[in-house]
Amino acid sequence: MPKIKVPAPPVPDQLKPQPKRPGKEYGPQTPVEQGAEAGASAVNWIDERTSLSGAARWMMFRKVPKGTNWFYTLGSATMFAFLSQAVTGVFLAMYYTPSPTQAYDSVRHINNDVFLGEFVHGMHKWGSSVMVVLIFLHMGRTFFFGAYKYPRELNWVIGVVLLILTMTMAFTGYLLPFDQRSYWASIVGVNINGTGPIIGPYLSDFLRGGPYFGATTLSRFYAIHMLLVPGAIAALMGFHLYLVARLGTTAPPWMKPKTAEALREETVST
Amino acid sequence: MADRRETKSSYTADRGMPGAFEGETVTRRRFMTSTAHVAGGVAAAAFLLPALGFAIGPVFEHFHQPWQVVGDVGDFGPDTYVPRTINLVEGIGDSGKSTVYVRKYNPSVDTVKRDQYNNYIAISTSCMHLGCPVHYVNAAQRFICPCHGGVYDFLGKVQGGPPVRPLDRFYTRVVGTKVLIGARYSVNSELKRYSPRDPGEPLDGIGPILYPSTPDLRLH
């Protein structure tokens, strides 16, 4: 079997192995020299034990097709919206109480008393809409650029699951402030689930944790909102990104493949 | 790759199991693999099944609705509704309370057969479209829902908008001079009683089959 020569990934000059300078064969000698290379040696220490630099190069220094444009950033934008939601959500959870009698007061405490509380709550609240808008724009980009076609169908399917999980986040998070609007919106949302035939009544009982909106409904929504779904989103997002790196991105549909001049003449002459 | 040991059993040779002993149908490697799989499955089931049961348990747990006093027999007339507040769910403060409209049975309007549970008619305020709170407008003698425009007549039957069945009712009874309210029940468009259903689930035609009552509220 002939050995296939794999082209080296395009690496910036700084990262390529450098030839040793004269007189430096034994590494940095003086403390000043050692200090100057502390960062590099720390990275080397980790890389020697994990070989992560190869994975990082594989993930980050990819070839992208000609015509790649700003529309290709919508997926990353969605991911950063999710990261923003995750970080603000963790800090909101430090002050929030998922109990029907205390939830509203704890949210009022966050908004009125906690330093920057209204700002962090606002980031989380408006950021959720930003994430939903971005995920739809990303989906539209993928659809109109034909980026769902072979061999990327599985990534489209994962994306649809991520969309459903994001909507689940928006639905379960809407109840948490526990004001009149979120209470009645959740009643309506759970009853919409109940209109599914046969399993609908059981599904709405499951969501409420009983026949009525009760003591466990809020904590149930809270657990789904902050533990179950974010974990699933993070895991699927990782796999989504792995497949993007594995399969590469598509060129925009208006980029036509350029045929070499010699080949074109050959086609004409025969 | 040929195995060093000879395959004696034609049975195992046919099945492509090199190195098996005479008559051996399951090799040791296969046995170890399947044992590890079974052990892993048992370990996973040991925490997954209880967690799942924990999450879906409330669906099958019977919900008990105690009888609650809502007033004296003299408080309610046959021609208009009086709003009363009852506790649907204990221990969660205001969000467990619900308004119920109560009146006396009116023989000139009510078509349902009179029995010991409907001497007083108690109408639920949960709209049968998607569960928003309806309110009674005395001037129009109608129940109106603020969310999507559901309208019900004096008996709670649908007159307009998206609701799929008449407003739910509660069993009532009289003890001494007090009017008591008990469990909720649902009705179809002929006001026939059914076990309580959630809003948005019709009870006419094949409705009761498409939307079965759930064990937590089923009436016996």
Which CATH number do you get for residue A181? 1.20.810.10
Q: If we measure between CA atoms, which residue out of B201, B53, B63 comes closest to residue A198?
A: B201
Is any Cβ of chain B less than 8 angstroms from the Cβ of A200?
Answer: yes
Mutate: best of A183, A187, A203, A212, partner B, most B CBs <10 A: A212
Q: What is the mean pLDDT of residues B201-215?
A: 92
Structural domains of chain A, count:
2
Which residues contact residue B23 at a Cβ distance below 8 angstroms, ignoring those fewer than 6 apart? B9, B11, B12
Q: Do B211 and A197 touch (CB under 8 A)?
A: yes
Residue A15 placed within a domain: no
Is any Cβ of chain A less than 8 angstroms from the Cβ of B214?
Answer: yes
Question: What is the CB neighbour count within 10 angstroms for residue B24?
Answer: 16
Residue A23 placed within a domain: no
For residue B102, pLDDT over 80 is answered with yes
Q: Quick one: A169 and A113 in the same domain?
A: yes
For residue B213, what is the nearest residue in chain A, using CA coordinates?
A201
Mean pLDDT of chain B: 89
Which residues contact residue A205 at a Cβ distance below 8 angstroms, ignoring those fewer than 6 apart? A211, B58, B59, B214, B216
**CA–CA distance, B73 with B98 (Å, rounded to integer):** 21
Residue with tokens 């997926």: A75
Q: Quick one: A152 and A42 in the same domain?
A: no
For residue A215, what is the nearest residue in chain B, using CA coordinates?
B92
Looking at the complex, report in whole angstroms how far the Cα of residue B42 sits from the nearest Cα belonging to chain A. Answer: 23
**CA–CA distance, B20 with B10 (Å, rounded to integer):** 10
Beta strands per DSSP E along A39-177: none
Q: CA-based Rg of chain A, rounded to a whole angstrom?
A: 26
B26 falls in which pLDDT band (50, 70, 90)? Answer: confident
Q: Quick one: A91 and A41 in the same domain?
A: no
Residues of A within 8 A of B58 (CB-CB) are 205-206, 208-210, 216
Domain range for A39 is 30-58
Question: What is the CB neighbour count within 10 angstroms for residue B104?
Answer: 20
Tokens matching residue A103: 């939830």
Q: Quick one: A101 and A213 in the same domain?
A: yes
Q: CB contacts < 8 Å between A and B, how many?
A: 83
B172 falls in which pLDDT band (50, 70, 90)? Answer: very high
Per-residue pLDDT of A197-224, as tens digits, reads 999 999 999 999 889 998 889 999 999 9
Q: What is the mean pLDDT of residues A234-259?
A: 91
Is any Cβ of chain B less than 8 angstroms from the Cβ of A205?
Answer: yes
For residue A141, pLDDT over 70 is answered with yes
- Predicted TM-score (pTM) of this structure: 0.83
pLDDT of residue A144: 95
Per-residue pLDDT of A155-166, as tens digits, reads 999 999 999 999
Q: Quick one: A126 and A181 in the same domain?
A: yes
Higher pLDDT, A40 or A84: A84
Q: Quick one: A75 and A51 in the same domain?
A: no
Q: What interface predicted TM-score (ipTM) does this complex get?
A: 0.83
pLDDT of residue A33: 75
Residue A156 placed within a domain: yes
The total number of residues written for chain A in this structure: 270
Q: Quick one: A44 and A125 in the same domain?
A: no
**CA–CA distance, A220 with B106 (Å, rounded to integer):** 44
Higher pLDDT, A83 or A39: A83
DSSP string for residues in B185-198: EEE-TT--EES---
pLDDT of residue A202: 92
Q: Quick one: A224 and A128 in the same domain?
A: yes
Residue with tokens 């008619």: B121
Q: Quick one: A51 and A174 in the same domain?
A: no
Range list of H helices, chain B: 10-14, 28-60, 207-210
Q: Quick one: A84 and A51 in the same domain?
A: no
Is any Cβ of chain A less than 8 angstroms from the Cβ of B147?
Answer: yes
DSSP state of A145: T
For residue B127, pLDDT over 60 is answered with yes
pLDDT of residue A257: 76
Q: If we measure between CA atoms, which residue out of A6, A5, A126, A145 comes closest to residue A72?
A: A145
Question: So what's the architecture of B68-210 in CATH?
Answer: 3-layer Sandwich (2.102)
Residue with tokens 């149908």: B25
Residue A174 placed within a domain: yes
pLDDT of residue A214: 84
Q: How many helices (H) and strands (E) does chain B have?
A: 3, 11
**CA–CA distance, A270 with A264 (Å, rounded to integer):** 10
Looking at the complex, report in whole angstroms how far the Cα of residue A152 sits from the nearest Cα belonging to chain B. Answer: 32
Question: What is the CB neighbour count within 10 angstroms for residue B101?
Answer: 23
Q: Quick one: A126 and A231 in the same domain?
A: yes
CB distance B163 to B111 below 8 Å: no
Q: Quick one: A110 and A188 in the same domain?
A: yes
Q: What is the mean pLDDT of residues A21-32?
A: 67
For residue B16, pLDDT over 80 is answered with no
Residue A180 placed within a domain: yes
Residues of B within 8 A of A200 (CB-CB) are 198, 201, 211
Which residues contact residue A243 at a Cβ distance below 8 angstroms, ignoring those fewer than 6 apart? A152, A154, A155, A158
